[in-house]
Structure 1
Amino acid sequence: MNKIFVIFFLVLEVFFAKPIAINTIPIKKGYLQQQENFVGNVIFKEVANIASQSNGAVEKVYFRLGQHVKKGEKLLSLNDEFLQKDIIIKQAKLDQARYILEKKKKDLERYKNLLETQSIPLQQYENIEYEVKSQEASILALQTELDISILDLGHKEIYAPFDGVIVDQKVHHGEWISSGEVICQILNTKDVEVVADVPSFMTNHLVLGQAVNATINNKTYKGKIVAIIPKADVNSRNFPVYISINGDNMLLDGMPATIKLNVDRKNSGFLIPRDSIVQRNGKAVVFIVKDKKAILVEVDVLSVNRNQALVQGNMQENQKIVLRGQDKLEDGSEVREIP
């Protein structure tokens, strides 16, 4: 008896069910640029080996492996105690040489007056003149040596040349390093490219600067083509295409990336809103309206862009396709169109 009541109420529920509210739009025939997907890899364009420009013992390391650093951030400092004392000595020698030059110039002026009165021979005057010029040359050499030491002092601290991530550490506290020795390796995470191999027929449809979207780890990045290499891979016979993208800290070197490239030919079919397509049992379907009922139609998606999709399926031009509300529909559901 209870089963009879349940069936009765289910029949009443179906019979008196309210039509589902939907929005529709007419189906049109047309063309859409075909797109092809190509798989590539994320690469970081700039990987820099940061080297020391000075000799010395490592006094302090300010970075760690895997750390994100900013441009101008201090990475390492070398002990500069010996260099500081060397600069003091060179500055003292330079000051001494300037005092000697000042004295010799005064002597030269006095000898000049004596020469005019023929109180001294010409050779004696020329000797003191030579000593002045020699002292001036010595001062120039001492000043240059001091400048080099001061410049070297500035190299005792090493800074990051750009924003990036430390991917390798070569030195540690207390170690002695020589000029030119690598202290670490920095990966520039902002300057990112995707490289994908494309067949030869596609290269005719690509130009430098062309906008390209790349999907990486379910996120879409905007980019542009920066290089088309005219040398094929010996195995695949495809040509590398480089796409520069605006990266972020979520990207890793070597990540797979999918890029969409326009193909020259256009396909014909039914142009429908991209949002009208839903997935049912792993298949792309749409709902068209006929006699106030929603009819499920399987479609083959030929191409898509931002707003539209080009499909083929059992439908006709000017039939109404469900634009909104299709998520609640089943094949044969009663519907009510609203503006």
Structure 2
Amino acid sequence: MKHFWRSKRVIIFVVLVVLIIGGGLIRAHSAKKQAALRDRYHIMTVTKTPDLVETGTVMPIRQETLKLPDGKVTVLVKNNMAVEKGETLVTTNDVAQINKLKALQNTLSSDQANLALKQRQLTTLKGQLAQLSSTADNYADLNDQVQSLQADINSAQATVNNDQLEVTTASSNNDSQVTAPFSGTVSVKNGASGQPVVKVSSNGHQIQGYVSEYDYHKIKQGESVALTALAGQQKFKGTISNVDQLPDTSSKTNTALYQFSVKCRKQLLDGQHVSVAVAQTYLRIPRSAVLHRNGRTVVMLVKNGRAHQTKVNLKVNGDFAVIKQGLHVGEKFISNPQKVKDGQQVNQ
């Protein structure tokens, strides 16, 4: 009898051991299966697209370096002086014009001397002619000389008159004035050639920066932007006033850069650097998360531990898809759902 109960206890013990080991194996297999499933998909969270942040430089809205003619230059304004549109800033004496005037004056003097000589000769001939009788043998010949010389004098007088007109015109063009093309502040510096460099900057300012071809679609004219002065971290608002459609040809990078301008009311310093943040209101997910099933564009959302096929409206942009409708910030989705079925249990 004792042997029977001993054998029974052994059997029960063996059964319990088998059950424990079997349960462990089942749990291990299940965990391994779940791990394998997790390896096949990756769960991500829908987040707001980060703002586009670029750095810009404060510059006058309009700036122009004046072109000065060759010659002696007289600057009538001082550096950093406020000027009005049309105000005379510089007077110049054009060297070429001065030389031309001198040549014309020399020609005029020579022609005047020639005219005076002919006039003296005419006076002499007329005196001789007056002393002769009209019947004298040389009267007719002398009279012809007087008439010919008078014609020469008339021609010489016309030449002198033309010379005087050219001298007057050249004299008026000798001194030229350079005026301010618009109201603003003038800068006067010494150039490398010894000639002054005069630049006029408008009173209004703007912020200019560059956006790459990859981010061009993120910035639009008329958009409000958040500005932060890099020196002092002062914050203020602005508006995109212009985005160039053609790339900057002076850029030496392999990426096309497009200049944009920001208008702001804050008084800033020329050359000051400002951070320009353009808010991005759209949602963006990896392109790999997008499926096309039964004529619909869908994304696999994860809710209550299961995958749910959800219709979305989107636009593909490179490796990403911009969501127009169907997803919200904070929702979870599968980024590689190609092997995931609708309603399938998933582990987060």
What TM-score does the superposition give when structure 2 sets the normalisation length? 0.40
Relative contact order (C-alpha < 8 Å, sep 6+): which is higher? 1
Which structure features the higher share of helix residues? Answer: 2
Which structure features the higher share of strand residues? Answer: 1
What TM-score does the superposition give when structure 1 sets the normalisation length? 0.41
